[in-house]
């Protein structure tokens, strides 16, 4: 299982596990991020590779078909 490039230019949502504040970032951001500062609670939130897999799977239906770009 890897992170599909078809989601790199698609906005994906992730909820802070501490306060449920939602961030929306492109897949390419999730691909490289390992932590970010939550705007809701100000805490530093870690995003693991397993989290990324889950995020990408959750948004798989938004992936652009090959050739549509
Ligand atoms: Zn938060």
| 19 found inside a domain | yes
Predicted pLDDT of residue 51: 96
In which domain, by residue range, is 20 found?
Answer: 5-62
Give me the average pLDDT of each 10-residue run along the chain (69 residues).
Answer: 91 97 97 97 97 96 76
Structure tokens at 23: 């961030």
> In whole angstroms, what is the distance from residue 10 CA to residue 28 CA?
8
| 54 found inside a domain | yes
Predicted pLDDT of residue 2: 85
Number of domains present in the structure of the chain = 1
Predicted pLDDT of residue 1: 66
Ligand 1 midpoint to CA 62 (Å):
25
| 68 found inside a domain | no
Phi, psi of 59, deg, nearest 5: -105, 10
| 69 found inside a domain | no
- In the chain, what is the greatest distance between 2 CA atoms, to the nearest angstrom? 40
| 42 found inside a domain | yes
Ligand 1 midpoint to CA 38 (Å):
5
């Amino acid at each position: 299982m890897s992170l599909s490039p078809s989601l790199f230019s698609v906005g994906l949502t992730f909820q802070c596990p501490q306060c449920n504040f939602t961030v929306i970032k492109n897949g390419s951001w999730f691909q490289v991020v390992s932590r970010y500062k939550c705007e809701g609670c100000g805490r530093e939130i870690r995003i693991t590779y397993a989290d990324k897999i889950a995020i990408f799977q959750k948004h798989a239906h938004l992936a652009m078909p090959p050739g549509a770009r």
